[in-house]
Amino acid sequence: MRRETRRPRGMALGLALWMTGCGMAHPSVKAEAPAKDTVAFVDVNVVPMDSERLLAHQTVVVRGERIVALGPVDATPVPVGAARVEGRGRYLMPGLADMHLHLVPGTGQPEDPAGQVLALLLANGVTSARALGGPKDTSRLVRDRVARGEVLGPTLRVAAPSLHGKSVQGPEQARQRVREYKAAGYDLLKTHGSLGRETYDAMMSEARAQGLAVSGHVTPDVGLFHALESGQQIEHLDGYLNELLPENDSARQEVGQVEVGEPLERMEPARIPALAEATRKAGVWSSPTLALFETVTSPEGVESLRTRPELRYAKQASVEAWTQMLANDSQMTSAPAGRKHRFAELRRQVTRGLYTAGAKLLVGSDSPQLFMVAGFAVHREMEALAAAGIPPYGVLEAATRNAAEYLGEAGTWGTVAEGRRADLLLLEANPLEDVKHTRDIAGVMVRGQWLPRSELDAMLERTAVVANAPPRVNKGVATATSAAP
């Protein structure tokens, strides 16, 4: 068994444990000044994600929150006092990013629902996340508490409450809401669509003026091409299936996110290359959320979904609610298996077409919901992208450097290089061979804090227990220890 270590937290005791056998100090570190806040991954294979390559037998040195050295093991000394993590036979890559997460109530403490989501993300190697939904009053609180180090979790970016046909009435109100959300400190805007063209244009115009990106749904009243022209980042491949229908087909205005009806038979995959090229030219990024829609339309049925092992980390009341939701969906239960398969396959073809054209993809799980458990759902999405024909490196790009690039932070994180934030994932197998290997986690580093496998397992077990703990009685009032994710 490989010995796994984490950064020593103590002073004299911690240094005494780690001084032995640490090798000579880095030239910039004086021998009398041990590196108390330094971790070294020794003799590790690095997947830097700056290009499709593998750097064998490297030492990566982290001090504080940053990578300060990366080079061949024989030429890169380990600073005196650094905690050593055995890397031989292992693979070090950037931490994963979930670009479509939903935060839940709480302050981020381990015993509350928000804290459980943070723990599940970290335990699955997710070190950055973008919340496209969550409680209005607490999502920014959790983001800021993580940033201040008050709670442990991935670095978060948080969207404002959704702008859609029911929350916004007219162009002027759209502009006002955008200004309010900017002043409130949100990182971006989310839309569920159905705004109408004039109100949508007002929202996009004010968003540009305020420096806020817009992400979300595309509905027929706006249309795919207008969303592309406007620069909206598109979730769920909204609008693409509509455009696969003949131009004079009335169903273009009726096809929604999930279509298992007769219009599927008239959709023409030959239209995909032109749509993908238009997306590339527009510079629009897509988060396909394939795994969620394949779950919703799964021909295996709800009982098969209930066997997913990660459901032990979800509140069982939520599992029952998801079961009832799908079981009572007459459209899904009555749809022929062939239609469900065609729907999923068309989405895969669109995704593959976007990648082939050079349009950028992002990994988003849209969890927690409908048997998609936070953290675990990121791996399901990556595997769905691979099943759609995206090569392993392309999937890894979508889950790491693409997210940083989209957010304008490519110089800060998303790759393994000197000066980058130390958000790292240590794996037991090569992810360039199979993206499923991103599940084989030996440890996670988030902003320089090392979490070995044993600590990740403890986080998972605590989450399983807390998520389904019985209500706690306080002064005669029963209060739940967690809420449905």
38-46 and 83-86 beta bridge pairing: parallel
Q: What pLDDT is recorded for position 471?
A: 58
The structure tokens listed for 246 are 């003949």
> What's the rounded mean pLDDT across residues 252-276?
94
Q: Which residues contact 268 (CB under 8 A, 6 or more apart)?
A: 244, 245, 246
Best-predicted range by mean pLDDT (26-30, 206-210, 313-317): 206-210
One-letter-per-residue 3-state SS of 161-228: CCEECCCCCCHHHHHHHHHHHHHHCCCEEEEEECCCHHHHHHHHHHHHHHCCCEEECCCCCCCHHHHH
> What DSSP letter does each residue of 325-337 carry, written as one string?
HHHT-HHHHHS-H
pLDDT of 129 above 50: yes
d(CA 158, CA 103): 9
Longest CA span, the chain: 77
Instruction: List, for residues 71-122, the tens digit of each pLDDT value.
Output: 999 999 999 999 999 999 999 999 999 999 999 999 999 889 999 999 999 9
Instruction: List, for residues 196-205, the tens digit of each pLDDT value.
Output: 999 999 999 9
* Residue matched to tokens 């702008």: 163
Instruction: Estimate the share of the chain in helix, then strand, then coil, as percent rounded to the nearest 5.
Output: 40, 20, 40
| DSSP code for 138 | T
**For the chain, what percent of residues have pLDDT higher than 70?**
89
Instruction: List, for residues 226-253, the tens digit of each pLDDT value.
Output: 999 999 999 999 999 999 999 999 999 9
pLDDT level of residue 36 (50, 70, 90 thresholds): low
Handedness of CA 38, 399, 121, 127 (dihedral sign): positive
> What's the rounded mean pLDDT across residues 463-477?
68
pLDDT of 405 above 70: yes
CA atoms within a 13 Å half-sphere pointing along the CA-CB vector of 481: 17
Bridge partner residues of 193 (DSSP): 164
Instruction: List, for residues 151-161, the tens digit of each pLDDT value.
Output: 999 999 999 99
Find the Cα–Cα–Cα–Cα dihedral 109, 110, 114, 117, rounded to 10°.
Answer: 150
Q: Which of 43, 34, 33 is nearest to 84 (CA)?
A: 43
Rg (CA), the chain: 23
Q: What pLDDT is recorded for position 468?
A: 83
pLDDT level of residue 136 (50, 70, 90 thresholds): confident
The structure tokens listed for 196 are 């109408």
What is the reported pTM?
A: 0.89
Instruction: List, for residues 110-128, the tens digit of each pLDDT value.
Output: 889 999 999 999 999 999 9
| DSSP code for 369 | B
Q: What pLDDT is recorded for position 331?
A: 83
* Out of 65-74, 310-319, 331-340, least confident range: 331-340
- Describe the crossing of helices 392-399 and 376-387 by its angle, rounded to 10 degrees: 140
> What's the rounded mean pLDDT across residues 23-46?
65
d(CA 348, CA 352): 6
Q: What pLDDT is recorded for position 472?
A: 58
pLDDT level of residue 2 (50, 70, 90 thresholds): very low
Higher-confidence residue of 224 and 481: namely 224
